[in-house]
Amino acid sequence: MNQRLIPKKVFFTSGVGRHSEYLESFELALRDAGIEKFNLVTVSSILPPKCKIVPKEEGLHELSPGEIVFAVLSRNASNEQHRVVSTAVGCAIPKNPDRQHGYLSEHHSFGESKDDAAKYAEKLAVSMYSTWTKEEPERETSIARSAEVEKDTWTTVVSAAVFVL
């Protein structure tokens, strides 16, 4: 039997983690985002046709601890005090989501506000969509997170589009 891995749903989430250890700051960012219990596999930029955007709580309810979960993940970290780290995932939603695919984009930066990171990620997703379809998407959305690094800590931020099969 040929089982195809085409997500039926997607949800967006983000988180911040701070710790003296880099890896633990990443773990805490995943916890803040609510996705630390999963084995995350990063994937690229396609929002499948018929993939429904759902609230985070609904998506999390359908996943089990230890499950292999596919996600478009943006991750950024620094231990440079006062530095601002940002991440975002943008989404271009097609005009006909039952037949067309959309696009997801990940963006990470330093010194950029959450709002600016979100706008940039949306712009990237729209650009990828528009160069393929030669039209604007129905709409765009994003999830973003920014945080300032505190003294003697690693600060990690994550933003993700998490797929549910």
Whether the predicted pLDDT of 122 surpasses 70: yes
Per-residue model confidence as pLDDT tens digits over 59-117: 999 999 999 999 999 999 999 999 999 999 999 999 999 999 999 999 999 999 999 99
As a whole number of angstroms, the distance between CA 107 and CA 73 comes to 9
Domain boundaries, the chain: 9-164
What pTM value is reported for the model?
Answer: 0.96
Amino acid 1: pLDDT: 56
Which CATH number applies to 9-164?
3.50.20.10
Amino acid 29: pLDDT: 98
From 47, 55, 54, 43, select the one nearest 125 (Cα to Cα): 47
Q: With bands split at pLDDT 50, 70 and 90, how would you rate the model's confidence at 3?
A: confident
Instruction: Count helices and strands (H / E) in the chain.
Output: 3, 9
Amino acid 2: pLDDT: 67
Per-residue model confidence as pLDDT tens digits over 6-59: 999 999 999 999 999 999 999 999 999 999 999 999 999 999 999 999 999 999
Residue 59: how many CB atoms within 10 A of its CB?
22
Full DSSP string of 3-42:
-----SEEEEEEEEEEESSHHHHHHHHHHHHT-TTSEEEE
Q: Cα–Cα–Cα angle for 131, 136, 142, nearest 5°?
A: 95
**Cα atoms in the Cβ-side hemisphere of radius 13 Å centred on 118:** 13
